[in-house]
Structure 1
Amino acid sequence: MSDRNLDPHQARQRPPTTYEDLLGDAIERAYGAGIHDLPGLVQSLNDSGLSSPDGSPWTEANYRAAMAALAA
Protein backbone atom coordinates (compact mmCIF):
# COMPACT_ATOMS: atom_id res chain seq x y z
CA MET A 1 0.00 0.00 0.00
CA SER A 2 1.29 3.43 -0.93
CA ASP A 3 1.55 6.20 1.67
CA ARG A 4 0.85 8.65 -1.14
CA ASN A 5 -2.88 8.36 -0.53
CA LEU A 6 -2.36 9.43 3.07
CA ASP A 7 -0.65 12.74 2.23
CA PRO A 8 -3.19 15.59 2.44
CA HIS A 9 -0.97 17.80 0.27
CA GLN A 10 -0.20 15.28 -2.47
CA ALA A 11 -1.69 17.47 -5.21
CA ARG A 12 0.15 20.60 -4.09
CA GLN A 13 2.59 21.84 -6.72
CA ARG A 14 4.21 24.46 -4.47
CA PRO A 15 3.94 25.82 -0.96
CA PRO A 16 1.07 28.27 -0.44
CA THR A 17 1.84 31.98 -0.61
CA THR A 18 1.42 34.18 2.44
CA TYR A 19 -1.76 35.58 0.89
CA GLU A 20 -3.14 32.07 0.35
CA ASP A 21 -2.38 31.20 3.98
CA LEU A 22 -4.16 34.36 5.18
CA LEU A 23 -7.13 33.65 2.93
CA GLY A 24 -7.38 30.08 4.16
CA ASP A 25 -7.23 31.27 7.75
CA ALA A 26 -10.00 33.82 7.12
CA ILE A 27 -12.20 31.19 5.46
CA GLU A 28 -11.60 28.75 8.33
CA ARG A 29 -12.55 31.44 10.87
CA ALA A 30 -15.78 32.09 8.97
CA TYR A 31 -16.67 28.39 8.91
CA GLY A 32 -15.74 28.14 12.58
CA ALA A 33 -18.16 30.96 13.32
CA GLY A 34 -20.95 28.97 11.68
CA ILE A 35 -20.97 30.81 8.36
CA HIS A 36 -21.65 28.37 5.55
CA ASP A 37 -23.34 30.41 2.83
CA LEU A 38 -21.55 32.40 0.13
CA PRO A 39 -23.02 35.82 0.99
CA GLY A 40 -22.04 35.33 4.63
CA LEU A 41 -18.56 34.14 3.69
CA VAL A 42 -18.01 37.14 1.42
CA GLN A 43 -19.16 39.48 4.20
CA SER A 44 -16.88 37.75 6.68
CA LEU A 45 -13.89 38.12 4.34
CA ASN A 46 -14.65 41.81 3.92
CA ASP A 47 -15.04 42.21 7.69
CA SER A 48 -11.66 40.50 8.20
CA GLY A 49 -9.85 43.25 6.30
CA LEU A 50 -8.34 40.84 3.79
CA SER A 51 -9.07 42.17 0.31
CA SER A 52 -9.50 40.11 -2.84
CA PRO A 53 -6.40 39.31 -4.93
CA ASP A 54 -6.79 42.51 -6.95
CA GLY A 55 -7.16 44.63 -3.80
CA SER A 56 -10.88 45.27 -4.14
CA PRO A 57 -13.56 44.22 -1.65
CA TRP A 58 -14.81 40.66 -1.94
CA THR A 59 -17.93 39.93 -3.99
CA GLU A 60 -19.53 36.59 -4.74
CA ALA A 61 -18.22 36.83 -8.31
CA ASN A 62 -14.60 37.59 -7.45
CA TYR A 63 -14.64 34.95 -4.69
CA ARG A 64 -15.71 32.32 -7.24
CA ALA A 65 -13.05 33.56 -9.66
CA ALA A 66 -10.34 33.49 -6.98
CA MET A 67 -11.27 29.94 -5.92
CA ALA A 68 -11.26 28.78 -9.56
CA ALA A 69 -7.83 30.35 -10.09
CA LEU A 70 -6.45 28.69 -6.95
CA ALA A 71 -7.85 25.32 -8.05
CA ALA A 72 -6.25 25.54 -11.50
Structure 2
Amino acid sequence: MQPTDRYLDPHQARQRPPTPYEDLLGDAIERAFAAGVHDLAGLVEHLNRSHLATPSGQAWTEENYRAEIARLAA
Protein backbone atom coordinates (compact mmCIF):
# COMPACT_ATOMS: atom_id res chain seq x y z
CA MET A 1 0.00 0.00 0.00
CA GLN A 2 1.38 3.38 -0.95
CA PRO A 3 1.11 6.29 1.51
CA THR A 4 -1.62 8.02 -0.52
CA ASP A 5 -3.71 4.83 -0.91
CA ARG A 6 -5.17 5.24 2.58
CA TYR A 7 -7.11 8.26 1.32
CA LEU A 8 -8.78 6.14 -1.34
CA ASP A 9 -10.37 3.62 1.04
CA PRO A 10 -14.04 4.63 1.46
CA HIS A 11 -14.37 2.39 4.53
CA GLN A 12 -11.25 3.54 6.39
CA ALA A 13 -13.21 4.83 9.39
CA ARG A 14 -15.61 1.90 9.57
CA GLN A 15 -15.52 0.08 12.90
CA ARG A 16 -17.78 -2.79 11.75
CA PRO A 17 -19.72 -3.87 8.68
CA PRO A 18 -23.00 -1.99 8.17
CA THR A 19 -26.23 -3.57 9.36
CA PRO A 20 -28.94 -4.46 6.80
CA TYR A 21 -30.89 -1.39 7.96
CA GLU A 22 -27.85 0.85 7.43
CA ASP A 23 -27.36 -0.62 3.95
CA LEU A 24 -31.00 0.02 3.06
CA LEU A 25 -30.88 3.57 4.43
CA GLY A 26 -27.66 4.31 2.54
CA ASP A 27 -29.12 2.90 -0.68
CA ALA A 28 -32.27 5.02 -0.28
CA ILE A 29 -30.20 8.16 0.33
CA GLU A 30 -28.04 7.41 -2.72
CA ARG A 31 -31.17 6.93 -4.86
CA ALA A 32 -32.50 10.28 -3.65
CA PHE A 33 -29.25 12.03 -4.58
CA ALA A 34 -29.25 10.29 -7.97
CA ALA A 35 -32.79 11.57 -8.54
CA GLY A 36 -31.57 15.12 -7.98
CA VAL A 37 -32.74 15.55 -4.39
CA HIS A 38 -30.26 17.70 -2.50
CA ASP A 39 -32.25 19.29 0.32
CA LEU A 40 -33.37 17.84 3.64
CA ALA A 41 -37.10 18.24 3.01
CA GLY A 42 -36.80 16.46 -0.34
CA LEU A 43 -34.67 13.71 1.17
CA VAL A 44 -37.19 13.07 3.94
CA GLU A 45 -39.99 12.99 1.37
CA HIS A 46 -38.01 10.54 -0.76
CA LEU A 47 -37.34 8.26 2.22
CA ASN A 48 -41.04 8.19 3.07
CA ARG A 49 -41.96 7.38 -0.55
CA SER A 50 -39.43 4.54 -0.49
CA HIS A 51 -41.34 2.94 2.42
CA LEU A 52 -38.19 2.66 4.53
CA ALA A 53 -39.35 3.54 8.03
CA THR A 54 -37.26 4.77 10.91
CA PRO A 55 -35.92 2.12 13.31
CA SER A 56 -38.98 2.76 15.50
CA GLY A 57 -41.30 2.21 12.53
CA GLN A 58 -42.34 5.85 12.16
CA ALA A 59 -42.37 8.01 9.07
CA TRP A 60 -39.32 10.19 8.54
CA THR A 61 -39.30 13.82 9.60
CA GLU A 62 -36.48 16.32 9.35
CA GLU A 63 -36.00 16.08 13.11
CA ASN A 64 -35.82 12.28 13.37
CA TYR A 65 -33.62 12.12 10.25
CA ARG A 66 -31.11 14.48 11.88
CA ALA A 67 -31.23 12.48 15.10
CA GLU A 68 -30.79 9.14 13.30
CA ILE A 69 -27.86 10.33 11.20
CA ALA A 70 -26.21 11.75 14.33
CA ARG A 71 -26.75 8.41 16.10
CA LEU A 72 -25.25 6.49 13.20
CA ALA A 73 -22.27 8.86 13.03
CA ALA A 74 -21.43 8.45 16.73
Question: Would you call these one fold, judging by a TM-score over 0.5?
Answer: yes
Alpha carbon RMSD of aligned pairs, Å? Answer: 1.0
Which of the numbers 51, 54, 58 marks the counterpart of 1:52?
54
Q: Normalising by structure 2, what TM-score?
A: 0.91
One-letter code of the match for 2:8? L
One-letter code of the match for 2:21? Y
SS in 1 for 2:60: coil
Number of residue pairs matched?
72
Q: Which runs of 5+ in 1 are unaligned?
A: none
Residue matched to 1:9: 11
Report the alpha carbon displacement of residue 61 of structure 1 after superposing the two structures with TM.
Answer: 0.3
Q: Which runs of 5+ in 2 are unaligned?
A: none
Report the alpha carbon displacement of residue 17 of structure 1 after superposing the two structures with TM.
Answer: 0.3
One-letter code of the match for 1:11? A
Which segments of structure 1 move beyond 6 Å, counting only runs of 4 or more?
none
